[in-house]
Amino acid sequence: MAVLLLLVGVIVWVGARGLMASNELKAVVPLASQIQGEIGSADTAAASTTAASLAAHASKAAELTSDPIWRAAEVVPWAGGNLAAVREMSTELDRVASQVIVPLAGIAGSIDTTSLRSADGRIDLAPLVEARPVVGEAVIALEAASARIDAIDADAIIGPIADARSEFADAIDAASEAMTTLDRTVRILPEMLGADGPRNYLILFQNSAELRTGGGIIGALALVHTEDGRVTLIEQAASGDIGYSSEPVLPLPEAETVLFGNRLGTYIQNVTATPDFSLSGRLAAAMWARDRGTVVDGVIAVDPVGLSYVLGATGPVAVAGGGTLSEGDAVRALLVDTYERLDDDHAQDAFFASAAGAVFGALSSASIDPAVLIAAVTRIADEHRLAIWSAHDDEQAVLADTTLAGMQATQTSLGEQAYAVYLNDRSGGKMDAYLDVATSVEVADTRDDGRSEVELTVTMTSTAPPDAAVSLPRRTTNGGMFGVPPGVIATNVTVYSPPGAFDAGVSYDGAPVGYQSVNADGRIANNVAVDLAPGATATVVYRFVSAEPGQVTPVAFATPLMTG
C-alpha cells in the first residue's frame, strides 16, 4: 500500500508540474511574436521588457521539469522517455531565452537599419562592431541547442511531444541560419565600408542579354570608395574601355581554359564565364589595376534584374537622354530597347554607364528606406544575381561559405547532390533576351549497388520573332559573327555534377550526342552546344550516376536569366 501511495504521489506531482510547465511554455509563444514586432518597429525598451518576461516563463518551465522527483520518474518505462524529452526541451528553451533572445533584444535598437544611417547617408559602423560578441555567442548557443534537440529520439516519444520537438527544432534551425547571416554581416561589413581605413571596390554590371555563367557579359564598370561608413562613386567605365591582352592576366586553371578558353582571362567582358567568382574577381581586379592604376579591395557583380529590384527600393531614376528607369521597365530598357534605339556601341555604353551611375546615386540617398533596400538585396542574392569577392583573405573566408561568393559556392552550399547548369552565349549578340530555359532533375532509376541514375533535363526555347534575322537590330543578332546565323540563339550549356558523380552520357532531342567533358576539381563538367532558330525548342538530357549509394534527392540550379 505504501508503494502504491508513493506511486500515486509521484504521478500527481509530475502531472501537476507538467501542467504548470505547459502553461509556462504556452505563455512563451505570443511573447516570441511580440518581440519580433517590437524589434521590427525599433522599440528596444519594449523588446527588452518582453524578452525578460519570455525568459522568466522559460526559466520557470525548466525549473518545473527538472526537480529530483521529475528526474526519478524519467526511469519509468514508456513514460520516462517522454518526461526526459519535455525536460530537455524546456531546458533548451531556457538557455536560448537567456543566451540569445535577451542579449539580442538589448542590442536590437543599436543595429536597427534606420538608426544606423545618418541624414547625410553615412552608415554608423560602431554599433555593428560592438554587436559582434553578442551575435557570435548567440550563434554558438543556437548551434549547441540544435545539436541537443536533434539528439532527442523522436521515435521514442508520443506524437504531441514529438511534434513539439520537431517544431522547436525547426524554429532553432531557422533562428540559427538567420543569426549566422547576421554574424557574417557584422564580421565583415564594417571593414568593407571603411571602418579600419579607406577601401576601393570594383562593381561589374553584367548584361544578361549575352549570357555568361555568372549572369552575363560585363557591360559597364564602376569604382566606388568606402571610408568610415560613407560610399562614394569615384569612376565609371564601359567594358570597351578596358584593354585586351594577348595572354591571360593571371594563370587560369586547366578546366577553365578547356571550357571557356583564354578569353576568360584576356577580355573583361568574359571574366564571369567561370562559376568560380573568386577567379572572376581576381581577373577583373588585375585588368582594372593594369589599365586604371587602382588596386581594389574587392569586386562585386550584379545583373540588370538585380538593379531593377534596387529601383523598387529607390524609386525611378533619371538617365541620359531625358528618360527614366523604374523597377518595371529597367530590364527591357537596358537589354532590349537600348539596341533598338541606339545603333552605336559608344552610345549604348554611355547609356549603361548613365543608368549604373543613376542607380548608385539613388542608393546613396539618405531618404531610401533601409529595410526595403535590404529586402531587395536579399532577393537579388537569393536569385544568384549578386556575387562578391574580397581581396582580404579573412573576409573572403567568411564570404566563401555563402551564396554571395558566386555560382560555384552556391553549388557547394546546396550539398553533395547539387547539379549546376551554366549558360554561355556563343554568338556575341544580345539574343538571350529571347531565351527561355526550364531545368529539372530526377532519379530515373536505382542501380543494384544502390547508386542513383540521375537525369538532368534542360529545355530551351527561343521566343525571338520569326523574322529575327532582319527585324532585330544588328547589335542584337550580331549579324552572323562567330559562325552563328543572324537570329539564332547559340549557347554553350555546361552542367557541373556533384563531387564524385559518374558520367553516363548526354542526349539532344532524344538522340545521343557528342559533348565536351572535363574534370573540374572532382566534378564532371559536360558541355553541349545548342543552337535555336526563332521559335525553336531543344531538350538536352544529361545523365549521371550518383557518387554514393542512397543519394536520392538531387537538386539543380542554373544561370539566372533576364526573364526571371
> Reduced to 3 states, what is the DSSP secondary structure of residue 325?
strand
Q: Which amino acid is at 179?
A: M
Residue 352 pLDDT > 90, yes or no?
no
Q: Please, which pLDDT band fits residue 3 given cuts at 50, 70 and 90?
A: very low
Q: Which residue has the higher pLDDT, 68 or 487?
A: 487
In this structure, of 17-21, 273-277, 359-363, the range with the lowest mean pLDDT score is: 17-21
Q: In 10 A of CB 366, how many CB atoms?
A: 11
Can you give the pLDDT at residue 36? 67
Can you give the pLDDT at residue 115? 60
> Reduced to 3 states, what is the DSSP secondary structure of residue 122?
coil
Q: What is the DSSP code string of 414-473?
A: T-TTEEEEEEEESSSSSGGGGEEEEEEEEEEEE-TTS-EEEEEEEEEEE---TTHHHHS-
Average pLDDT over residues 23-47: 68
Residue 363 pLDDT > 90, yes or no?
no
Long-range contact pairs involving 3-12 (C-beta distance under 8 Å, separation at least 24) = 10/69, 10/72, 10/73
Residue 340 pLDDT > 90, yes or no?
no
Q: Please, which pLDDT band fits residue 52 given cuts at 50, 70 and 90?
A: confident
Average pLDDT over residues 149-158: 82
Exposure letters 446-479 (e unless 16+ CB within 10 A, then b): eeeeebbbbbbbbebbbebeeebbeebbebbbbe
Q: Which amino acid is at 218?
A: I
Instruction: Kindly report, residue by residue over 442-477, the tens digit of the pLDDT.
Output: 999 999 999 999 999 999 999 999 999 999 999 899
Can you give the pLDDT at residue 35? 67
Average pLDDT over residues 212-225: 94
- What's the whole-number average pLDDT of the chain? 86
Average pLDDT over residues 266-294: 97
Can you give the pLDDT at residue 5? 36
Residue 558 pLDDT > 50, yes or no?
yes
Instruction: Kindly report, residue by residue over 506-552, the tens digit of the pLDDT.
Output: 999 999 999 999 999 999 999 999 999 999 999 999 999 999 999 99
Average pLDDT over residues 334-346: 81
Question: What is the reported pTM?
Answer: 0.88
Q: Which residue has the higher pLDDT, 36 or 470?
A: 470
Average pLDDT over residues 271-292: 97
Q: In 10 A of CB 544, how many CB atoms?
A: 25
- Which residues, 6 or more positions from 132, have their beta carbon under 8 angstroms from its beta carbon? 183, 186, 187
Is the Cα dihedral 187, 190, 195, 201 positive or negative? positive
Q: Which three cell numbers stand for residue 90?
A: 524546456
Average pLDDT over residues 335-341: 84
Q: Determine contact, residues 349/238, Cβ cutoff 8 Å.
A: yes
Cα–chain-centroid distance for residue 215? 14
Average pLDDT over residues 245-267: 95
Can you give the pLDDT at residue 1? 40
Q: Determine contact, residues 230/194, Cβ cutoff 8 Å.
A: yes
Residues in a beta bridge with 455 = 442, 543
Average pLDDT over residues 277-292: 97
Exposure letters 117-134 (e unless 16+ CB within 10 A, then b): beeebbbebebbeebeeb
Residue entry with cell 557591360: 219
Instruction: Kindly report, residue by residue over 219-254, the tens digit of the pLDDT.
Output: 899 999 999 988 888 999 988 899 999 999 999 999
Residue 29 pLDDT > 70, yes or no?
no
Exposure letters 396-423 (e unless 16+ CB within 10 A, then b): bebbbebbbbbbbbbbbebeebbbbbbb
Picking from 157, 10, 9, the residue whose alpha carbon sits closest to that of residue 72 is 10
Average pLDDT over residues 421-429: 96
CA distances from 119 to 115, 179, 560 (A): 10, 28, 36
Residue 222 host element (H or E): strand 217-227
Residue ranges of alpha helices (H) inside 41-158 are: 44-64, 68-73, 79-96, 102-107, 113-116, 126-150
Average pLDDT over residues 309-317: 88
Distance separating alpha carbons of residues 502 and 431, to the nearest angstrom = 33
Q: Which amino acid is at 384?
A: H
CA distances from 440 to 412, 420, 542, 557 (A): 18, 11, 11, 9
Q: Which residue has the higher pLDDT, 541 or 11?
A: 541
Distance separating alpha carbons of residues 230 and 149, to the nearest angstrom = 43
Q: What is the DSSP code string of 147-194?
A: HHHHTS-GGGS-HHHHHHHHHHHHHHHHHHHHHHHHHHHHHHHHHHTT
Residue 267 pLDDT > 90, yes or no?
yes
Residues in a beta bridge with 543 = 455
Residues in a beta bridge with 440 = 457
Number of Cα atoms under 13 Å in the Cβ half of residue 455: 13
Residue 112 pLDDT > 90, yes or no?
no
CA distances from 442 to 43, 414, 445, 453, 551 (A): 48, 16, 9, 9, 11
Number of Cα atoms under 13 Å in the Cβ half of residue 341: 14
Q: Which residue has the higher pLDDT, 291 or 364?
A: 291
